[in-house]
A = this chain, B = another copy of it.
Amino acid sequence: MLTVIYLTAITAEAMSGALAAGRRNMDIFGVAVIAFVTALGGGTLRDLVLGNFPVGWTQHPEYIYLVISAGLLTTVIAPYMHHLKHAFLVLDAMGLVAFSLIGVSVALGMDYPTVVVVMSGMITGICGGILRDVLCNQVPVVFRRELYASVSLAVCALFLVLREFGVNTDVNTLISFATGLSLRLLAIWRGWQLPTFSYQQRWE
């Protein structure tokens, strides 16, 4: 089941990357690159930091074709995408939660300390979007948007706590997934935000 969700997730992330590229008037090649990086960049960075070679997508050519196709398709259906706004937000939220759980699972298989396992989940969940924004030359939105990265953190922590209590992995995945998805959608609906830190002094 996580595989189906994962494929849905990388498709949604690729589409979000393509839209960001369109906002910068990139050519279709740039669209393909940004789609790829948004969808698979978080997992790549996680594999590099954990020393988990070979990097995931290099063993799954079908993922590469999927995200590039999704990116290019987006250039065609873009004029109609605002009608799909709600579906898109749900897919994006599913992606965030699925990526986080996959990142946790990869690090758990490698004997890293607990806090590194959590960070592995978060790197997988949010770094694709960070790389997209850096390549599009803007401050990453995950650092400023309603609860996004925090949802990733909550999902990873919940999964590890339930695991500590001996909950079966499949059940645990289901509970963590549902909780994370609900939290993210609630955050969007209610406009929940973390407090912001503003600092304008220039004494350095």
Contact = CB atoms under 8 A, between A and B. Distances in A.
A164 interface: no
Nearest to A58: B116
Contacts of A58: 49-50, 112-113, 116
Nearest to A92: B204
A31 to B, nearest CB: 5
- Chain A interface, >50% SS class: helix
B51 A53 contact: yes
A200 interface: yes
Nearest to A131: B134
A150 B23 CA distance: 21
A26 B113 contact: no
Interface residues on A, range: 35 or more
Nearest to A33: B143
A4 interface: no
Contact of A144 (B26, B49, B64, B81): B26
A181 B115 CA distance: 33
Interface of A: 16, 18-19, 21-31, 33-34, 44, 48-51, 53-55, 58-59, 61, 64-65, 75, 78, 81-82, 85, 88-89, 112-116, 119, 130, 134-140, 142-144, 149-150, 153, 193-201, 203-204
17 contacts: A21-B197, A22-B198, A25-B197, A26-B196, A27-B143, A27-B144, A27-B194, A29-B142, A30-B143, A54-B112, A58-B113, A61-B116, A64-B115, A65-B115, A75-B197, A134-B135, A135-B139
